[in-house]
Chains A and B, each alone.
Chain A
Amino acid sequence: MDKFTQWMEEHFVPIAAKFGSQKHLVAIRDSFIAIMPVTMAGSVAVLFNAIFRDLMAPEMLNLPAVPEAMEWLITIDGSVWWGTIAMFALIFSFSIGYHVAKAYGVNEISAGLVSTAAYITITPQTASASLSAPEGGAFSQTVIDEITAAGGTVDATGISLGAWGNLNVSYLNAGGLFTAMILGLIGTIIFAKIIIAKITIKLPEMVPPAVSQAFAAIIPGAIVIFGAGLLSFILGKIHEANPDIPEALADLIAKFIQQPFLGASQGIGWVVLVVFMVQFLWFFGLHGASIMTPVLSGTYLPALLENNAVWEQTHDISQFPYLWTSGSFDLVWQGGSGASFALLIAILVFSKREEYRMIAKLATPMGVFEINEPVVFGLPIVLNPIFVIPWLLVPCILAVITYAATAIGFMPPPFIQMPWITPPIIIAFMASGFSWQAAVVALIDLAVAFAIWSIFVIVANGMVNKEQGAEEGATPSTA
């Protein structure tokens, strides 16, 4: 064990550290962190509607007076949702440009704005509206003639209208996230490299810095935005030649990258692997969830948001495209990674070791809010030869339980983004639109975690503090 951990400290930890501090991955992570206020505002709106509208529906509490009285708030919530969650990719395109520019040390605001403009540049300008024919019938010949003359397309079943000057929400919401991310990343790298290569308009020294910075961004900004326009043009030509290939970059990326990627991420194997990796990193005292944010936020957050979009449109859980979302992990990591909330209870109930009880008392108030560094470093979990087994195992088992409960349709996949500091069980209840079933699954998870952790806490009772020396020697020497 000692040899293994030593080998890992020497070989695995530096790689994980590199991954954790790789500047493009840091930029992606920071971009997700930065848009939290926006997505949280949207989530609060969804949550209000879940309380005042969906919870009061006939099949739930059946209190129609509440949504009637709260109609003003429900309307406001709809507008807030439209400005936040429905615009996720658009808003993200600014954030990614800003943070990549920050990593390269060039003007962040210019880069953010250029990234947003480039994103809109590749977004189709036309939207089509379709109107169905009256039930059981077709449009009369007069209507068909008039609409055809006005530029619409009519067949027996309905009317399609091409409308210029519109942005389709499906390109701006989480469905366009990968496009915004890839375009923002590549576009801003090009933007930054051109600035660093000093291919810019130079102004005399006495010009104020803000003015000269804005001028410095003109040529690189134009190159990136024109590049996006050129890309859009080329895709249009390819689409003309081969209509099977989508015209819009967002459709192309959605079809060939985002959907396959998100689809694959839904397999139980991937879910358990992601959970395991986060646990494994934490075992070496590295912030697993933070290092894995590009994966957690890049794949499972869009899954949650797309479920959310379906909910807003249909109110039908059975139509949700994704089973496992970023909210599902909150049933696994109760009280923080490792389901450490269960560990704290197990220690308070069973532990005879004074130092464990002391840490548990200190850590429990924070554990309620999903902060568990005192447990990880104080107990410690890091390089702990007894607790390594439940630390790696428990969350994987909970992931399987939660996955199975969702897959058989017992609980809905979480579709409301909650702040990660929301206490265990409550977070599952709220994230799944006040589903008591989700709360039950969270409780079962907690009970299973408590049972397994208890065994190891009792085992630890019998051991003397002989591992203490080894732990102190294992303090990392990253300096």
Chain B
Amino acid sequence: MVNILLVCSAGMSTSALVKNMQDTAAQKGIDAKIWAVGGADAESASKEADVVMLGPQVRYLLDKVKGLVNNEKPVTVIDMMTYGQMNGAKVLDEALALFE
């Protein structure tokens, strides 16, 4: 079981990507909890996450979120093109690679 948290401004646009990631995970039979929150809720949500991924539009929150998890968990910014294409499979692969 891997917990993947996506963070954007209001949790709206990343929720579309989350849906694609969940579909891919279900197809591949990967046991993953994937969800999206807005920047304001990143603190409490990051406690339950194994991997935190930021939308590129809030990449300025990277240092803040790294601080929230005390640099103990992988935190990364999703590549712009991958994000724009809402490429769930690629983001999921990246998240799993960071988890391992």
Contact = CB atoms under 8 A, between A and B. Distances in A.
Interface stretch (B22-30, B45-53, B83-91, B92-100): B83-91
Interface in B1-40: 8-10, 12-13, 16, 38-40
Interface string A362-403: 100010000101111111101000000000000000000000
Given A377-B84, A379-B84, A476 B43 contact: no
B86 A286 contact: no
B73 interface: no
Interface stretch (A16-24, A38-46, A157-165, A201-209): A16-24
A242 interface: no
A366 B13 contact: yes
A2 interface: no
Interface residues of A, number: 38
A476 B56 contact: yes
A16 B16 CA distance: 26
Interface string A266-291: 00000000000000001001110111
Contacts of B9: 287, 289-290
A314 interface: no
Contact of A290 (B43, B58, B77, B81): B58
A377 B83 contact: yes
Contact of B86 (A362, A379, A380, A382): A362
Contacts of B64: 21, 26
B59 A371 contact: no
22 contacts: A20-B60, A21-B60, A21-B63, A26-B39, A26-B64, A30-B40, A33-B38, A33-B40, A287-B57, A290-B10, A290-B39, A359-B84, A371-B13, A373-B8, A373-B13, A374-B85, A376-B84, A377-B56, A377-B80, A378-B85, A378-B86, A478-B77
Interface residues of B, number: 29
Given A21-B64, A285-B57, A371-B12, A378 B40 contact: no
A286 B40 contact: no
Interface of A: 16-18, 20-21, 26, 29-30, 33-34, 102, 282, 285-287, 289-291, 359, 362, 366, 371, 373-380, 382, 421, 471-472, 475-476, 478-479
Given A366-B16, A478-B77, A479-B77, A286 B84 contact: no
A29 B64 CA distance: 15
User: Which A-B residue pairs are the 5 nearest by beta carbons?
Assistant: A378-B84, A377-B84, A17-B60, A287-B57, A373-B13
Given A21-B64, A371-B16, A479-B76, A377 B81 contact: yes
B57 A373 contact: yes
Contacts of B39: 26, 30, 290
A285 B80 contact: yes
A377 B86 CA distance: 9
Contacts of A380: 80-81, 84
A266 B43 CA distance: 36
A373 B77 CA distance: 14
Given A21-B60, A380-B80, A33 B10 contact: yes
A285 B56 contact: yes
A473 to B, nearest CB: 12
Nearest to A365: B16
Nearest to A16: B60
A6 to B, nearest CB: 16
Interface centre among B12, B55, B79 (most CB of A within 10 A): B12
A21 B16 contact: no
Contacts of B80: 285, 377, 380, 382, 475-476
A17 B85 contact: no
Contacts of B63: 21
Given A21-B64, A290-B39, A378-B81, A373 B55 contact: yes
B74 to A, nearest CB: 11
A478 B40 contact: no
A60 to B, nearest CB: 34
